[in-house]
Structure 1
Amino acid sequence: MGRGIAFKKKEGDFVDQTLIEKQFSLTNNEILPKFAELLSEIPLSVISVSEIIINQAKSQLDGKLQDSIYISLTDHIHFAIERHKQGFDIPNGFLWEIKKLYNKEFKIGLFALETIKQRLNVILPEDEAGFITFHIINAQLNDTMPNIVTMTKIMREILNIVKYHFKFEYDEDSLTYQRFVTHLKFFSQRILNNNFVASQDISLYEIVKEKYHQAYLCTKRIDLHLIQQYAHPLTDDESLYLTIHIERLRNELQIMAVSE
C-alpha cells in the first residue's frame, strides 16, 4: 500500500518502490493457497475493507486473531454485500445475545458496517454486525462457527439461571459482569470441546461452598442444567470459579440496591 502507488498504472506494470508505505504478508502456509484463491474471486475494494476491519479488531481486542479471519471475514463480507444487492438479507436470531455478551466485539461489527458504508457505499443491516462479531469471536477462540453459536446459547442460559435465581437485573457496564461473561465464554467452549477442569485443592472448594452458600446453591442449579442439556457435570474447580463469580455479582448488586 502507498499513496499514488497505482496512479496511471495498469496490470503488469512495475511498482515504484519509493511509494511503498506498507506491506502485508501471511505466514500460515495452510491459509496462503486459500487466500490466493480469494484474491482471484473477490474485488480488491472488499479485501481492503476487510483488512481495515481486522486491523481495528486487533487494536481494540485482547489476544491474537487467527490468520483464518482474513479468509472467513473477507468471504462473508463479500457474500453479505452480494446478498444485500439481491434483496436477500438474513436475520440474526442471536443479535440480542451478541449485543449483551460480546460488547467489545459487537462494536467492531458496527465499525465494520460503517466502514462498508463509507468505502463501498453499501448499507448493511445491523444483523450483519452480529454475524461479523461471530467471525471475530471465532478468530479469537479458533473454534468452529456452529460451536460459537452454541457457546452463545450456553452463556445466555447460565446468565438467565443466575438472574432468575436471585431475581436481579445485571449491571452490564460493571467490571464484575464483564469478567463473568468472559469467564463464561471460555467455560462454555470447554463444555463443547469436552475439556474438563480437573480439581486440585478440594479444601478451598469446601471453604467457598460454606462461605458463599447462596451463590453455591445457584451453581448447583447450573450444574443440574448442564448435566441435563449437555451431559457435562461440573468439576469441583469449575463449581469453585462459578461460585466466586456469582458471589461477586450478588454482592455488587446488593451494595447497589442499598445505596439506592
Structure 2
Amino acid sequence: MKINKILNNNAVVVKEDDQEKIVMGAGIAFQKSKNDVISQSKIEKIFVMSEGNKKFQELLKTLPEDVIELAEEIISYAEGFLKVPLSNHIHISLTDHISFAIERLKQGFRIQNKLITEIKTLYAQEFSIGLWAIDLIEKRTGVAIPEDEAAHIALHIHTAKLGASTMENTMKHTTMINEMIGVLEEESGSTVDPEGISHQRMVTHLHFALNRIETGEPFHDMDPDMLELIQTKYEGAFVLSQKMAQFIKDEYEVSFPASEVGYIALHIQRVLERT
C-alpha cells in the first residue's frame, strides 16, 4: 500500500484497486513521502473515500493533529465501551465539534447544554463516555471542560450508533421531554429533582412514548375504568398530564392518546409525591 497524499503525520491517502482510501495510524507518515510504502503494523483505521470522507480529508489537513488524535481515541473508546461500530460520519462530526468546543472555551465562551438532565437519563452509557472524553481532553489540552460538553459528546455518539435516530430527531425528542418537564414544574409550582428515580422513570416513559408516535407503533390501551379512577383519585396529576399533552400538540402537532395521558399522570403523581 503506497502513499498517494500525506494529510498529516497520522493520516495519508492511498490508492488501491483504483479506489482512494484514508489510512490512519500513529506516526504513519513520519519521515514518509509520496509513493513510499506504508507499514501494515502502523495501520489502525481505513476509510473508503466518499463524499463524506472527502470532508474528513479536508478536516485532517486543517485541524490540529492533537485534536484529531483526541477525537479518534474517544471514538475507539466508545466503540469498545458500547461494543458496537459507529458510523463513519462521527469521524467528521465529533472531530469538528471537539475542535470548535476547545476554541470557544479558550476564548472564554461558556458551553451550556439545557438538555443535560434528559441526556443523562436517556443516554446514560453515552454520557459516561462523554465524561471519560472530557477528562481526556482536559488532561491533553489543559483546558477545563464543563460537564455540559459531556452531554454534547454523548449525543454525537448516540446518533452515530447504527440504526439510531438522526441528530435532528434525537434533539427534537429530548427537547420535547425537557419542555414537558418545564410545563410540569411551571404548572405545579414545584421543582422536579433531576436525580430522583421517579423523574428518571417519567423521562424514559416519555421517550418511548414519543418513539411510538413517530414509528406508528400501537400504544397499550388502558382499561376505561382504570382511566376514570386515575382522573378521580389523581385529579391534579391528570390535569397536569393533559396540559403537558396539549402543549406538545400545540407546539409540535404530536398527539398522545387518552390512555397515554393516564399513564403519564401516574408518573407525574409519583414525581409530585417525592417532591
- TM-score, scaled relative to structure 1: 0.68
Q: Can you give the 5+ residue segments of structure 1 that lack an aligned partner in the other structure?
A: none
Of the two structures, which has the highest relative contact order with CA contacts closer than 8 Å and spacing of 6 or more? 1
Alignment partner, residue 230 of structure 2: 212
Say if 2:105 and 2:111, in contact at 8 Å, map to a contact too: no
Alignment partner, residue 243 of structure 1: 262
Alignment partner, residue 21 of structure 2: none
Is residue 227 from structure 1 mapped to residue 245 from structure 2 by the alignment? no
Q: Name the CA distance, whole Å, in 2 between partners of 1:170 and 1:181.
A: 12
Q: Give the number of aligned pairs.
A: 239
Of 214-223 and 70-79, deviating more is: 214-223
Is residue 117 from structure 1 mapped to residue 138 from structure 2 by the alignment? yes
Distance 1:30 1:178, change over 3 A: farther
Alignment partner, residue 166 of structure 2: 143
Q: CA RMSD in A?
A: 4.0
Alignment match of 1:89 (pick from 101, 104, 109):
109
Q: Name the CA distance, whole Å, in 1 between partners of 2:265 and 2:76.
A: 35
Stretches of 4+ aligned residues off by more than 6 angstroms: none
Alignment partner, residue 48 of structure 1: 69
Name the SS for the 1:222 alignment partner.
helix
Q: Can you give the 5+ residue segments of structure 2 that lack an aligned partner in the other structure?
A: 1-9, 11-24
Name the % identity.
Answer: 29
Q: Name the CA distance, whole Å, in 2 between partners of 1:139 and 1:46.
A: 19
- TM-score, scaled relative to structure 2: 0.65
Once the two structures are superposed, the pairs formed by residues 95-134 of structure 1 within 5 Å of their partners are: 95=114, 97-98=115-116, 100-103=117-120, 104=124, 105-134=126-155
Q: Name the CA distance, whole Å, in 2 between partners of 1:187 and 1:7.
A: 48
Say if 1:38 and 1:75, in contact at 8 Å, map to a contact too: yes
Say if 1:158 and 1:222, in contact at 8 Å, map to a contact too: yes
Q: Name the CA distance, whole Å, in 2 between partners of 1:124 and 1:179.
A: 29
Distance 1:66 1:16, change over 3 A: closer
Superposed CA offset, 1:191-241 (max 9, x none): 7xxx37465675x353542353335444322222122222322234xx42x
Q: Name the CA distance, whole Å, in 1 between partners of 2:108 and 2:174.
A: 25
